[in-house]
Copies of this chain bind each other. A is one copy, B any other.
């Protein structure tokens, strides 16, 4: 029905698990629609998977199935290689080998890019090929494209995202149903949202991979996974979710990266962090529930924008993989200099702004202290905060139960530097009327 400009683009697929199968199926199902847009078909013609029987069951006669990824990489008929092996080891080797063979690469592997991105993008630049990775962050949401192209006129000020669906599901369950962390994790596992070993998600590692990539393309700094400040959600207690709600906040695991400026407006560093965060309930981001993802981006010209959708799953991720295939197909015959740089900025124009250590980051805080219920306690606490130059935004004191001698005081602070809070909390915990270690959760108003 559509005149083809040339034959189909021939794609090799490494690894046909959930996303690989989704990519194969969506490419087949929407072949006509994609051809109407791209001007030519894009076909997965060769698939490598250790489990060749499984691969054959998916692709039938439509593609050749091999057991060795090298047979795909070395095939001169293949234009683009999709890497869906996962992990850092073989995936890295295969991606570098494909680049060396002059293949363009499309990958959904955030761990690989967060850890070995610099090496991979340098190799790609040397060989004049593209490494595309829309699927690596926030699944089907075209956030890489939005940041890298859609908002290219802006000095990006901050990015904050719900970029791990597993933890967002767990937090939604804890809040909705009053579940404990452990029960919510079990529920997530039962429904397939969490792995048998959920560490990678609940400790924030996966979100840290993704925010590291977003930080690089937002600010034009190198990928620096070793500099992310990470705190997961496994220490979260349901009572803090309830207190937050009473104060009109919701707790989300956010990946945050933010440009810091000195009082004259000159940038001096970048924050890069993952942690549970109180967000005002009226913000859209606070209302992103279940396994959904959303990324909030602030630019100096555009102001605040947000991007929402499914962050995982076979077809949403395939949507991003295939969008990359279409982009690569369009530009693979052009001069590499006319392509969008993979990390948004020209390789020779990288910024050396440092990633700030945790102690230098700036946020507001939720602090919960268990205290003796007696007069003067709040005055002692507020005096410590004032001494450390921390100003308060709100205080909530739980009415102690009948006969109880202890209660909870919750403080919301204004923005301050983390080392100020470190100092204040040490002094607070030393007060004789304070009975426990402080519960500390960061708070972002997103304005």
Interface residues of A (CB under 8 A from B): 1-3, 5, 22, 26-27, 29-30, 33-39, 134, 140-142, 145-146, 148-155, 220, 284, 287-288, 299-310, 313, 315-316, 318-323, 325-327, 330-331, 333-335, 337-341, 344-346, 348-349, 351
The answer to whether A149 and B326 touch (CB under 8 A), given A140-B301, A302-B316, is yes
The answer to whether A323 and B140 touch (CB under 8 A), given A1-B349, A348-B3, is no
Q: Is the CB of B302 within 8 A of A349?
A: no
Between A and B, 23 residue pairs with Cβ closer than 8 Å are A1-B349, A2-B346, A3-B348, A26-B300, A26-B301, A27-B153, A33-B155, A36-B349, A37-B220, A140-B303, A145-B146, A146-B146, A152-B322, A152-B326, A153-B325, A287-B287, A301-B322, A302-B310, A304-B309, A305-B308, A306-B306, A307-B307, A333-B335
Q: Is the CB of B287 within 8 A of A301?
A: no
Q: Is the CB of A309 within 8 A of B301?
A: no
Q: Is the CB of A303 within 8 A of B330?
A: no
Query: Which B residues are CB-close (under 8 A) to A318?
Result: 153, 301
- The minimal Cβ–Cβ distance linking A343 to chain B, given in whole angstroms, is 10
C-alpha spacing A327/B148, complex, angstroms? 11
Query: Which B residues are CB-close (under 8 A) to A38?
Result: 152
- The minimal Cβ–Cβ distance linking A340 to chain B, given in whole angstroms, is 7
Copies, count: 2
Q: Is the CB of A155 within 8 A of B30?
A: yes
Query: Which B residues are CB-close (under 8 A) to A301?
Result: 22, 26, 30, 140, 315-316, 318-319, 322
C-alpha spacing A68/B177, complex, angstroms? 66
Q: Is the CB of A302 within 8 A of B327?
A: no
Q: Is the CB of B37 within 8 A of A344?
A: yes
Q: Is the CB of B39 within 8 A of A337?
A: yes
C-alpha spacing A284/B288, complex, angstroms? 8
- The minimal Cβ–Cβ distance linking A258 to chain B, given in whole angstroms, is 16
Q: Is the CB of A150 within 8 A of B303?
A: no
Q: Is the CB of A5 within 8 A of B337?
A: yes
- The minimal Cβ–Cβ distance linking A154 to chain B, given in whole angstroms, is 6
- The minimal Cβ–Cβ distance linking A357 to chain B, given in whole angstroms, is 25
Q: Is the CB of B30 within 8 A of A153?
A: yes
Partner among B152, B284, B345 whose Cβ is within 8 Å of the Cβ of A284: B284
The answer to whether A340 and B345 touch (CB under 8 A), given A140-B301, A150-B323, A153-B322, is no
Query: Which B residues are CB-close (under 8 A) to A331?
Result: 334, 338
Query: Which B residues are CB-close (under 8 A) to A334?
Result: 331, 334-335, 338
Q: Is the CB of A37 within 8 A of B305?
A: no
Name, among A151, A300, A325, A326, the residue most crowded by chain B CB atoms within 10 Å (CB to CB): A151
Identity of the chain B residue whose Cβ is nearest the Cβ of A298 in the assembled complex: B309
Q: Is the CB of A310 within 8 A of B319?
A: no
Name, among A2, A5, A37, A134, the residue most crowded by chain B CB atoms within 10 Å (CB to CB): A37
C-alpha spacing A320/B318, complex, angstroms? 27
